[in-house]
Chain A
Amino acid sequence: MRVLPLYVVLGGWLSMPALAADADEWMSRLAKTEHTQSYSGIFVYERNGAFSSHAVWQGVDGDVVRERMLQLDGPASEVVRVNGELKCLSTELAGQFSGGKAWHEQSFDTHALSEWYEFRVIGDSRVAGREAVALAILPRDQHRYGFELHLDRETALPLKSLLLSERGQLLERFQFAHLDTGDVSDSDLTPSMACATVAPSTQLDQQLETNWRSDWLPAGFRLTKADVRPSPASDESVSWLAYSDGLASFSVFIEPLKGEVVEDARSQMGPTVAVSKRITAAEGDVMVTVVGEIPPGTAERVALSMRAGAAQAQR
Chain B
Amino acid sequence: MSREALHESLSAVMDNEADELEIRRVLAASGEDEMRSTWSRYQVARAALHKELIDPRLDIAAAVSAAIADEAAPVVKAQRSPWRSMGRLAVAASVTVAVLAGVRLYNQNDLSGQQLAQQAPAPVISVPQASQAQGPAVLAGYSEGQSEAGDAQAAPAEGWHEQRLPSFVRQHAQQAAFSGGSDSALPFARAASMEER
Contact = CB atoms under 8 A, between A and B. Distances in A.
B127 A43 contact: no
B144 A97 contact: no
Nearest to A165: B20
A260 B160 contact: yes
Contacts of B195: 75, 77, 92-93
Contact of A233 (B2, B142, B164, B172): B164
Contacts of B160: 233, 260, 262, 287
Nearest to A255: B164
Contact of B168 (A77, A100, A289, A295): A289
A297 B175 contact: no
A202 interface: no
Most buried by A among B21, B24, B127: B21
Given A43-B185, A101-B179, A263 B2 contact: yes
A98 to B, nearest CB: 7
B183 interface: yes
B19 A296 contact: yes
Interface stretch (B56-64, B74-82, B130-138): B130-138
Interface string A119-151: 000000000000000000000000000000000
A153 interface: no
Contact of A54 (B5, B158, B188): B188
Interface range, A side: 35 or more
Interface string B183-197: 111101111111101
A263 to B, nearest CB: 4
A102 B180 contact: yes
Nearest to B174: A97
B192 A84 contact: no
Interface stretch (A7-15, A104-112, A187-195, A208-216): A104-112
B173 interface: yes
B181 A107 contact: yes
Contacts of B116: none
Contacts of B183: 34, 108, 158
B185 A249 contact: no
Interface string A220-239: 00001100010111000000
Interface of B: 1-2, 5, 19-21, 24, 123-127, 129-132, 134, 137, 142, 144-145, 148, 156-158, 160-161, 163-165, 167-186, 188-195, 197
Given A93-B195, A106-B180, A292-B172, 4 more contacts: A47-B190, A75-B130, A92-B195, A291-B169
Q: Which 4 A-B pairs have the closest CB atoms?
A: A45-B189, A233-B163, A232-B167, A251-B172
23 contacts: A45-B193, A54-B185, A54-B189, A54-B192, A74-B130, A75-B192, A75-B197, A81-B184, A95-B167, A97-B171, A97-B174, A97-B178, A98-B171, A172-B190, A174-B185, A244-B176, A249-B172, A249-B175, A263-B157, A264-B5, A267-B126, A268-B124, A289-B168
Interface of A: 31, 34-35, 43, 45, 47, 49-52, 54, 56, 67, 69, 71, 73-75, 77, 79, 81, 84, 86, 89, 92-93, 95-98, 100-102, 105-108, 158, 161, 172, 174, 224-225, 229, 231-233, 240, 242, 244, 249-251, 253, 255, 260-272, 274-276, 287, 289, 291-293, 295-297, 300
